[in-house]
Amino acid sequence: MDDRFLHEHRRDPSPGFARSLRARLRQVEDLDAEPKGRWNPTLVATFALAVVALSFALPSVRATAQNLLDLFRVRTFAPVAFDPARLDKLKALAPKEGDSAANMMFANVDVLEKPEAPQTFSSLASAASAAGIPGREITHLPRKLKVTGITVTGRGRTRFQVDTQKLGAMLEMLDIRDVQVPTELNGQSFTIAMPAAIRQHITGGGQQVEFVQATSPEMQLPPGTDMARLGEIGLRVLGMSSTEARRMARSIDWTNTLVVPVPLDATSFREVTIHGQKGLLVANRGESTGRNGRKRNGNLLLWSEDGRLYALAGDVRDMELIEMAESVR
């Protein structure tokens, strides 16, 4: 097929047009670089946690007479793929710029215990003492990797008061119209306590890994919470279909499972075994090159052991991360 006559009429952009458009796009990039209003990792994490929290916030249909609050502790993980575009959609729907997802769901978000600024320590022993947990050590570090820094992030505790009207409005904004938010939960509170955590920063040979260890976060819930039902709503918020969310919500043990939202455009995940315990390996297969032209991969490994949570995250190969995890003593 002779189609040269079609190719011949392409032309390059004029230099003036290309320059002026690039300058305008740089202004967009500069705006993004300002922290205010950015949908930053902390906000994403807050959102994810709020979704998890939401899973436990709605009313009970499970008959119970107990006055004590149910307690949630993480022992296992459930990866849930979600579309990051939904986060953008939520961001766009925020009443005020920079509003967190939590503010869109809850009547009040009270910080009962504000975490102290991260502290730096020169040894694992002193960090462990500050964090109040027995610090464990990675005994096998591949290649040139070395521990280059140890910090402890402080404990925090936050209370969320449910506003069913806000929650319903948010679901509607996300076009989730087949879920009813029970009104009897309105005004009920639950509390999430995030423990102090030790973070070891491991770098070398152009690679970096972070090793995090902490006791399980705890969540105090209104008595008799129907976790499967609430989990189903949380999964819908993450973008899961009605049928899939119901099926998964009913298969998860919500008393000890941490839902881990995994961006579906970025990653693959699989179950692994660390010290005989089930763990979750999330692999980000970076197929693009960075500014330096180097291919980028990233892996995240989560596991729970002896009532504590461990996370290893870094741009090393998945098998290396598993070997590091297995060497934790």
Distance of CA 25 to the CA centre of its chain: 29
Give the three-state DSSP class for 327.
coil
Asked if 12 interacts with another protein (CB under 8 A), we say: yes
Question: Between residues 167 and 302, which has the closer beta carbon with respect to another protein?
Answer: 302
Q: What are phi and psi of 63, to 5 degrees?
A: -60, 130
Question: Between residues 149 and 187, which has the closer beta carbon with respect to another protein?
Answer: 149
Question: Between residues 230 and 280, which has the closer beta carbon with respect to another protein?
Answer: 280
Site string for another protein, 47-76 (x = CB under 8 A): -xx--x---------------------x--
* Sequence-distant contacts of 62-67: CB under 8 A, at least 24 apart: 62/224, 62/225, 62/226, 63/224, 64/223, 64/224, 66/223, 66/224, 67/223
- Contact segment (CB under 8 A) with another protein among 96-104, 141-149, 194-202, 240-248 equals 194-202
Asked if 243 interacts with another protein (CB under 8 A), we say: no
Question: How many chain residues are in contact with another protein, going by CB under 8 A?
Answer: 71
Kind and range of the H or E run holding 220: strand 218-221
- Contact segment (CB under 8 A) with another protein among 1-9, 59-67, 137-145, 241-249 equals 1-9
Residue 229 CB, nearest approach to another protein (Å):
23
Helices 84-93 & 164-173 angle (0-180, nearest 10): 120
Beta strand pairing status for 76-82 and 257-263?
A: parallel
The two tokens of residue 283 are 């692999």
Residue 212 CB, nearest approach to another protein (Å):
4
Asked if 111 interacts with another protein (CB under 8 A), we say: no
What count of residues does the chain have?
329
Asked if 29 interacts with another protein (CB under 8 A), we say: yes
- Contact segment (CB under 8 A) with another protein among 11-19, 93-101, 171-179, 231-239 equals 11-19
Distance of CA 134 to the CA centre of its chain: 25
Residue 183 CB, nearest approach to another protein (Å):
29
Residue 118 CB, nearest approach to another protein (Å):
9
C-alpha to C-alpha distances, 79 to 48, 130, 172, 236, 306, nearest whole angstrom: 12, 31, 25, 14, 21
- Minimal CA–CA distance to 166: which of 149, 186, 144? 186
Residue 187 CB, nearest approach to another protein (Å):
25
Question: Between residues 85 and 125, which has the closer beta carbon with respect to another protein?
Answer: 85
Asked if 214 interacts with another protein (CB under 8 A), we say: yes
C-alpha to C-alpha distances, 65 to 54, 61, 184, 225, nearest whole angstrom: 22, 12, 16, 12
Contact set for another protein, span 279-318 (CB under 8 A): 282, 284, 286-291, 296-298, 300, 302, 309, 311, 313, 315
Question: Between residues 185 and 310, which has the closer beta carbon with respect to another protein?
Answer: 310
Task: Classify residue 226 by burial, with Cβ atoms within 10 Å: 0-12, 13-18, 19+.
Answer: middle
Asked if 193 interacts with another protein (CB under 8 A), we say: no
